[in-house]
Amino acid sequence: MTLSQTLLLASAGAAAVVGSVQNVTKPNFIFIMTDDQDLHLNSIDYQQSVQKHFAQEGTWFKKHFCTVALCCPSRVSLLTGKAAHNTNVTDVSAPYGGYPRFIEEGFNDDYLPVWLQNAGYNTYYTGKMMNGHSLSTYNNPRINGWNGSDFLIDPGTYIFYNATMSRNHDPAKNYPGEYSTDLISAAAVGFLDDAIKASDRPFFLGVAPIAPHSETITGGDAKFNAPVPAKRHEHLFPNVTVPRTPNFNPNTTGTASYFKTIRQLNQTEIDYNDDWYRKRLQSLQSVDELIDSIIERLSANPTVLNNTYLIYTTDNGYHIGQHRLPPGKSCNIEEDVNIPFFIRGPGVPKGAVQTIPSSHTDIVPTLFSLAGIPLREDFDGEPIPVTKELLAKNEKSEHVNIEFWGEYLVEGNTFFGQSYFPNNTYKHVRVIGEGYDLAYAVWCTNELELYDMVNDPYQLTNLHNTNSTVNSWPIASLSSRLNGLLLTLKRCKGRTCTRPWEKLHPKGDVKNLKDAMDKKFDAFYEKHQQPVTFSECALGQVLSAEGALEPVQWREEWDEWSYHT
Ligand SMILES: *[C@@H]1O[C@H](CO)[C@@H](O)[C@H](O)[C@H]1NC(C)=O
Ligand SMILES: *[C@@H]1O[C@H](CO)[C@@H](O)[C@H](O)[C@H]1NC(C)=O
Ligand SMILES: *[C@@H]1O[C@H](CO)[C@@H](O)[C@H](O)[C@H]1NC(C)=O
Ligand SMILES: *[C@@H]1O[C@H](CO)[C@@H](O)[C@H](O)[C@H]1NC(C)=O
Ligand SMILES: *[C@@H]1O[C@H](CO)[C@@H](O)[C@H](O)[C@H]1NC(C)=O
Ligand SMILES: *[C@@H]1O[C@H](CO)[C@@H](O)[C@H](O)[C@H]1NC(C)=O
Ligand SMILES: *[C@@H]1O[C@H](CO)[C@@H](O)[C@H](O)[C@H]1NC(C)=O
Ligand SMILES: *[C@@H]1O[C@H](CO)[C@@H](O)[C@H](O)[C@H]1NC(C)=O
Ligand SMILES: *[C@@H]1O[C@H](CO)[C@@H](O)[C@H](O)[C@H]1NC(C)=O
Ligand SMILES: *[C@@H]1O[C@H](CO)[C@@H](O)[C@H](O)[C@H]1NC(C)=O
């Protein structure tokens, strides 16, 4: 069937699927994930359907983060509910990442769709799965867990008008002249019909278009161009430019690793960036149409809609020109890690905005909890309180652990003359509690960063090693606690990832940063705790390069303050 036939059928069939009375107690899930979409460059302001069907009908979790700002590691972490240091799929390609690493680590039998099928779900997926899911690997072995699938396959994943796709494991085909996101939209609506017809089981439908990712020629010498919008959207937003926030191409350099070396962009480069930005916004318009098609089909089946949670998010964020950076991701800056996350469905407050911190590692636990499936002990995340009921008893932790191993690949490298920046391995933690919002990082160069995100949301003033204060806390005391937290999180598993202070203070009397700031812990954190360090900028999780791996635990005898007073 051609795409136009599929679309025709899709619109003709927009009426309710006859005889579909879903008789299930578990809810359905529709999970829409774009690729490299920013929150901080305001892309969602240009998506009316995200506003109408998600922001107005559901809750926006404004402090949602990816835990690795790179597609493949982020997706594997999301699909397993595990931190990247535990999946050890940390890159997009060999030796540290890509689909073959996902297989090697045994996740093909142990990840979200397999678990959902075992819990009685029908599962469907269309779009990009992960990097390295390619012509040579997609049937070797096949990816498990999907009742219906239509995957974008490398090297055609990022070619907007000539995608390569494999439907239900059939030989991959190219679609010259057809628009990638439209193909994904047609496949998604088709699977939705299948799911509704198979009314004896609840369903999960994953929809992963590639917009607004760059058009990328994959392979050893990857080449990145601006994304290609659908022809019908090429004319939109002619005068829109990247928001000129205080951190856009600033006249001062950054303070750590290669950020210290990047020169200011010239006008040619700024124009190129603005054009890149417009193409991203244009490419997202077809994602809006995809959302409309899904909502239209669900609206025709109100009992199904009534029992379905819909999520809109992306795999990682994106920057263009902030801190002088050329287009790309992979950094620990807020643009790359704080990303769109919307959810709507039964019990989810409408038109609400939440600032409870959450991350991609929390998504599978969230789905499990909504479906009444017992949480696995090896989850490194915890359910996000998305419903009114869950919000009423919210105990979610206040931190998000962000990690990265490798280089920063420069996109749009025609203008920047450099295809990558080395020394991009770092450990980072965001802590968002009552009265404080902090970003703390240790780079593989052993440089440190500390930003007060309340007063410096654009991350222009590194407070590390200054005589400043945050929330009236001296920087040295604060840094010492954040170091202890980061050290606890860097190799955490399971509950330690969500309740790290319990590991540092086994008595359970310290539950958050504020508790840990008690003066009686000064000596413990400032003198006895080990620092987070690196001995080299390894490209993967090579433990011998990562300094201390476990924190020292608190001992009463270190309470100098109480002894002396
Ligand atoms: C739904 O399932 C319940 C329990 O299995 C059964 O009693 C009921 O008749 C079913 N309803 C419909 C409409 O099939
Ligand atoms: C989906 O796959 C699961 C696991 O193989 C199976 O039990 C279920 O019957 C399938 N659903 C449909 C509609 O074929
Ligand atoms: C589409 O991609 C295939 C595979 O790379 C290639 O052989 C074909 O020439 C391309 N078609 C067009 C119209 O670009
Ligand atoms: C874009 O800018 C041009 C030149 O400044 C102006 O003539 C035009 O009206 C603007 N278009 C829009 C849609 O704002
Ligand atoms: C640097 O940028 C700041 C803020 O935009 C501005 O106040 C200052 O004058 C600039 N300095 C130079 C040397 O351009
Ligand atoms: C949807 O659910 C609400 C609340 O549970 C209920 O009042 C309403 O009748 C339901 N609508 C449909 C079409 O099932
Ligand atoms: C800007 O920098 C690029 C190199 O990235 C160079 O090719 C170009 O000539 C420069 N343009 C201007 C206006 O300086
Ligand atoms: C990378 O970091 C190492 C170790 O700190 C340093 O020697 C080297 O100069 C850095 N390279 C670049 C390009 O920043
Ligand atoms: C911080 O204060 C101490 C003591 O007043 C002083 O010696 C030191 O130079 C100051 N450091 C900075 C970075 O201002
Ligand atoms: C992660 O995988 C890489 C590549 O296989 C390996 O070299 C490294 O030792 C692994 N790290 C851990 C902590 O398992």
SS3 354: strand
The tokens describing 417, both together, are 């003359």
Closest CA to 30 of 362, 342, 312: 312
Cis-peptide, bond into residue 95, ω within 30° of zero: yes
- Long-range contacts of residues 445-451, Cβ cutoff 8 Å, at least 24 apart: 445/256, 445/257, 445/534, 445/537, 446/533, 446/534, 447/255, 447/256, 447/257, 448/256, 448/479, 449/255, 449/256, 449/332, 450/475, 450/478, 450/479, 450/482
The tokens describing 175, both together, are 């679609």
Distance 175 CA to ligand 10 centre (A): 38
Strand locations in 92-214 (E) = 122-128, 148-152, 162-167, 173-176, 203-208
Q: What is the DSSP letter of 91?
A: B
Among 104, 542, 543, residue to substitute to test ligand 10 (most atoms within 8 Å of Cβ): 542
**Among protein residues, the one whose CA lies closest to atom 7 of ligand 10:** 542
CA distances from 376 to 76, 81, 277, 398 (A): 16, 9, 40, 21
Ligand 9 pocket check for 469: Cβ under 6 Å = no
Which atom of ligand 1 lies closest to the CA of 21? Answer: 13
The tokens describing 416, both together, are 């920047």
Q: What are phi and psi of 402, to 5 degrees?
A: -120, 135
Give bridge partners of residue 28 from the DSSP assignment.
308
**Among protein residues, the one whose CA lies closest to atom 4 of ligand 7:** 415
95-143: pLDDT as tens digits: 999 999 999 999 999 999 999 999 999 999 999 999 999 999 999 999 9
Among 90, 541, 544, 550, residue to substitute to test ligand 10 (most atoms within 8 Å of Cβ): 541
Distance 465 CA to ligand 9 centre (A): 9
CA distances from 464 to 237, 322, 437, 440, 470 (A): 40, 21, 15, 9, 11
β pairing state of 341-344 and 308-314: antiparallel
246-290: pLDDT as tens digits: 999 999 999 999 999 999 999 999 999 999 999 999 999 999 999
Say what angle helices 363-371 and 71-80 make with each other, to 10 degrees: 30
Distance 413 CA to ligand 7 centre (A): 12
CA distances from 534 to 150, 152, 358, 424 (A): 42, 37, 27, 12
pTM value is 0.93
Q: Are 549 and 490 in contact (CB under 8 A)?
A: yes
pLDDT at 417: 80
Angle in degrees, CA 366, 81, 434, rounded to 5? 60
Distance 445 CA to ligand 8 centre (A): 7
Ligand nearest to the CA of 252: 5
State which residues of the chain have pLDDT below 70: 1-24, 563-565
**Among protein residues, the one whose CA lies closest to atom 4 of ligand 4:** 239
Q: Which residue do the tokens 């790359």 mark?
A: 336
Q: How far is CA 217 from the centre of its chain?
A: 23
Ordered domains of the chain (ranges, CATH) = 3-17+27-394 (3.40.720.10), 434-562 (no CATH)
